[in-house]
Amino acid sequence: VNYSTPDQLEGFSSTGPTEILFDANGNRLAEATVRPKPDLVSPDGVDIPNTTLAGTPDPVQGGIRNYFGTSASAAHVAGVAALIKQAAPTISPQSLYQALRTSAKDILATGFDDDSGHGLVQAHAAISSLADLTITKQASVDEGVVGDLVTFTIAVTNNGPATSTNLFIRDDVPDEISFQEFSSDKLFCDQTAGTLTCGILSLAPGQSATSTVEAILVKSGAITNAATVTGDQIDPNDSNNSASAPIDVSPAPTLPVSTDDDKPRRRRTPEPTPEPTPQTIQAPTPVPTVAPTQTPGVTEALAPTPEPTPLLPTPAPTTPGPTATPTPVTPQSIEDATVEDAAETIQQVPVEEAADLLEQVQVDKVIEILLAVDGETAGDILDSISIETLLELIEQADEETLINLLPEMSPEQFFLIPLEVLLENLPGVSVEQLARELAPQPDPRLPAPASQQISDAIVEYLVPRTIADAWAKIIGSPAPLDQVLARFTRDLTRVRVVVEDFTELPPSAPPLPPEDILNSIFAIDVPGVDNEDISVAHVTLYVERKWIEENEIHPWSIRFNRLDDVRGEWVPYPAKRVREDNERVFYSLGIPGFSLFAVTGRKQLRAPAFLVSNLTVDPSEPTAGQAINVHADVANIGMEPATFPASLWIDGTIEDSEAFLVSAGQTAELAFTIVLPAGSYQLRVDRLLRQLEVGPEPEAVVTPRPSPTPTRTATPTATPTPTTTPPPLALARSEPSPTPLAPPPTPLTEVAASPSPPGGNGRGPLFVALAVVAGVLATALVVGMAGNGFRMPGARGGGVA
C-alpha cells in the first residue's frame, strides 16, 4: 500500500493465491498445491533520508529515490518483526508470524482475502497482542503416604509486554489425589468433575496471582499433577505455560494384628464423680483387756492396755426409707396424659425414643402433641418416624396443620413423601414447594467462570465458553446467590455476566406488595447475549435462618420476584426449599431470563392465583426425534390481570420457563414443543403430571412401487358437523424494551459468538408457543435512577418477561 493512502493497495501489488509446482528439492509435483497469498501488506513509497557521516539528512530531492514495491514493504514487515523480537526475545518464529497475522488491520474484505492477505501490518497492535505467561506449581512435600494432606501452590505471572485478559488456569486432578479446599488472592476458582479451574479477567505486566489447593493422597504411586495457563494474547514463550509437582506416594502402613488384650479400646467420656454422702462415724466397740500370760524368765509384768476413748456416741439404728422410682414413659402414659403434659414429656426424652413412643399413639393425639412442642422438636420427630406413620398423619391432618408442621421437616426427609400425596392434601400450597427437584449440573466439558470485583456492589463474571443445549455455570456465590446456571441455545465464547447488589429498591422500580418482607435485591445482566441465546436459567440462593425466625417468615413463602419493566410489575417465582444448615436455608428455581430481582418472604402463604388443568401430549406415543406438543390450560382465578410463570419439568429437572400475562377470569392455552430421545419420562406442568414413553426412531423403510390396479370410486360417507368450541384466549407476552445496556465499568473483550449445531443432553430445542400469538418477543429492563444515569440490566441481555 502507498504510505499516503495506507488503506488502498498499489495498482501493481500482486494478488493470490500462489500455485506451488515443485518441492523443496526441485522435483515436479504430481499435482500443484495452492497456498493462500499474500500474507500481509505494508507501506511503500516512503521518504527514506540518507544520513551522511556528518549527521545531516539528505532528503529525496537530494538524489535519494523513494522506494516502492516489495523492496520497501518487506523492509517494513522485517522492522516490525524486529520490534516484536526486541519486546519478546524468546518468541518463536511461529508465534511471531501469528502476532503479525492476527494483529493486522483489515483494509478490504473482512478476514483473509487474495488481495491484502490478513491485512495491513500494525506494529503497536502486534506487540500489544503478546503476553508471556509463566506458571509454577509446588507441593508441600516430595514424598507422602496415602492419607496425607498435601498443599499445592500454583502461581502465574505475566511477563508482558501486554496485559493478559481472560486468563485461565486448568488443573486436571489425577485419580491419586482428592482436592479438599482451595483459596486464592486474586483468582476465582471452582472444581467441576475432577478439573480445577481458576481465572481472572485481567493481569497486568509484572503482576502475579496465586492459588493454594489442599488435597489428600488417596492412592500410592508416582503422581504428576500438572497445571496449564492460557490467555487471550499470544504467548511468545509457551514452554513455561505448564508446570507440575511430582510426589512419590507410599501405601499406608499395615497395622499389626492385635490380640484382645492389646486391641485399642474406644475411649469413653468418664462419668462425673458423685458428691460424697455425709456419714456418721461410729466409735469402735471397746475390747476387754486380757491379762498377759507370764513368760518364764521374765520378772516384770506387761502394763495393762488403756481403755479406748469413744469418738462419737453410737446412734440408734435407723431403717432406710423406700427409694423413689420414676414412672416409666410408655405409649399408654402418653395417651392418658393431657396434651400439655405429653408435649412436655416428649421434649425431655431423646428424639429417637420420642418418635418410637409416638409411633404407638393414636395419630390424632400425635398431631396435637406435635403442634404443642417447639418447631425444632416437631421437625426432628417428623424426620424420625416411619413413612407409614407420616403418611397416616398427613391423611388425617387438615391443610392448615400440615402447613404449620411439614416445613419443620428437613427437605431431604420431606421429599421422600410421594408427590401425589402432597398434591392431594395441600391444594393451597405452591407445587414448587412440594415437588422434589433434580437440580441441573454444569457440563463437565465447560470450565468454571472467572470473577472480578468491580466495586463493593458489582461483581463481574467471565464465562469462557458455552455449548449448545448444555448447562453452564455463569455465576459463583455473591450473597445471596449460591450459583446460577444457564442453558444456552448455541456455542458462545467469553460471555460476560454482571451482578449488582442494592441496599434498597431503586427509585424507578415499582413497590413490592405490602405483605412482602424484603430480604435482598440485586440485578443480573448478560450484556451482548440475545434473549434467544438462553433457553432457561436455574438459580440457587439462600436466606439467613436468623432473618426467617426474627421476621416469622413461613419457609414456604420465599419468592424470587422478577421485575417486568414493560408492565411495571413484579412477577413472583416460587422458590423451592432444597437444603439447609445451621445458619442458612437454600432455595432453587427456574427463570426465563435476567433482570432486577427481589427476594422476599411472608408470614402467611399466598392464595393461589392460577389454576392449571387439562395437560395433554400430542402425539401420545411419540418416537425419538419427533416433535412433541405439550398443552395445558391456565385460568386466572383472581380479580386482576396477572402474570403466570409457566415451567415445564422433565424428570424433576427444569426444561423451560416463561412468563405470560393472563386476563382476570380468563383461561388461556399454554403449549410447549419438545424433542426427546427414546426413553421413559415424567412431565410436569404446575400440579399436573404425565408419564411419557418415547419410542426408538423408526427405521427407514423402502416401499416398492405398487403395480397398477383398477381404479375404484369410493362411496362418500356423511360426516357429522363438528361442534364449534371457542378456543381459549392466547397468553399475551410483554413487549421488549430496545434500550441498550449501559457500558461496563472496565473495558473487557467483546463477546464473540460462533453458531454450532445443538448438542449436550440429547434433547432438541424447546419452544414455548401460544395458542394464537406466534413469534418470539423479548423484554429488556431499564430502570433509570435519578441523578446518576443508572440503567438496570435487562432480561437475558434482552430477555423475556
- For the domain covering 333-427, report its CATH number: 1.10.220
Q: Where in the chain is the domain with CATH 1.10.220?
A: 333-427
The bridge status of strand 242-250 relative to strand 143-145 is parallel
| Contact yes or no for 621/649 (Cβ under 8 A) | no
Q: What is the pTM for the complete model shown?
A: 0.55
Residue whose cell numbers read 500500500? 1
In the DSSP assignment, the letter for residue 665 is: T
Q: Indicate whether 719 pLDDT > 90.
A: no
**Which pLDDT does position 189 carry in this prediction?**
75
Q: Indicate whether 733 pLDDT > 50.
A: no
Average pLDDT, the chain: 77
Give the list of residues 6+ apart from residue 672 with CB closer than 8 angstroms, or none: 629, 630, 631, 648, 655, 656, 685, 766, 767, 768, 769
- For the domain covering 610-694, report its CATH number: 2.60.40.10
**Which pLDDT does position 295 carry in this prediction?**
40
Q: Which of 170-179, 229-238, 404-413, 791-800 is least confident?
A: 791-800
Give the list of residues 6+ apart from residue 307 with CB closer than 8 angstroms, or none: 286
- For the stretch 622-674, pLDDT in tens is 999 899 999 999 999 888 888 898 899 999 898 988 888 899 889 988 888 99
Q: Where in the chain is the domain with CATH 2.60.40.10?
A: 610-694
More confident residue, 185 or 767: 185
pLDDT (average), residues 290-296:
43
**Which pLDDT does position 65 carry in this prediction?**
58
Q: Indicate whether 727 pLDDT > 50.
A: no
Going by C-alpha positions, the residue among 225, 216, 217 that lies closest to residue 251 is 217
Looking at residue 724, its amino acid is: T
Q: Where in the chain is the domain with CATH 2.60.40.1530?
A: 131-250
**Which pLDDT does position 66 carry in this prediction?**
64
How many Cα neighbours within 13 Å face the side chain of 559?
24
Residue whose cell numbers read 468418664? 270
CA 141 to chain centre: 33
Q: Is the peptide bond between 619 and the residue preceding it cis, with omega within 30 degrees of 0?
A: yes
CA distance 295 to 246: 94
**Which pLDDT does position 749 carry in this prediction?**
31
More confident residue, 132 or 276: 132
The bridge status of strand 471-475 relative to strand 208-217 is unpaired
Q: Indicate whether 567 pLDDT > 50.
A: yes
Region of 411 (left: φ > 0; alpha: ψ -120 to 50; beta: rest) is alpha
Q: How confident is the model at residue 701 (pLDDT cuts 50, 70, 90)?
A: low
392: enclosing H helix or E strand:
helix 387-396
**Which pLDDT does position 794 carry in this prediction?**
33
What percentage of residues in the chain have a pLDDT greater than 90?
34
Region of 236 (left: φ > 0; alpha: ψ -120 to 50; beta: rest) is alpha
Q: How confident is the model at residue 111 (pLDDT cuts 50, 70, 90)?
A: confident
Going by C-alpha positions, the residue among 374, 378, 353 that lies closest to residue 366 is 378
Going by C-alpha positions, the residue among 730, 775, 480, 767 that lies closest to residue 628 is 767
CA-to-CA separations, 794 to 51, 327, 503, 561, 776, in angstroms, rounded? 62, 67, 19, 14, 16
Cell numbers representing residue 574 in the block: 416460587
Q: Which CATH number fits domain 18-128: 3.40.50.720, 3.40.50.200, 3.40.50.300, 3.30.365.10?
A: 3.40.50.200
| Contact yes or no for 620/605 (Cβ under 8 A) | no
Looking at residue 303, its amino acid is: A
**Which pLDDT does position 354 carry in this prediction?**
93
CA distance 508 to 783: 6
CA distance 33 to 245: 46
Q: How many helices (H) and strands (E) in the chain?
A: 13, 35
Q: Indicate whether 299 pLDDT > 70.
A: no
Q: Which CATH number fits domain 131-250: 1.10.10.10, 1.10.645.10, 2.60.40.1530, 2.30.29.30?
A: 2.60.40.1530
pLDDT (average), residues 480-502:
92
Q: Indicate whether 475 pLDDT > 50.
A: yes
Q: Which of 115-119, 205-209, 324-328 is least confident?
A: 324-328
Q: What three-state secondary structure class fits 40?
A: coil
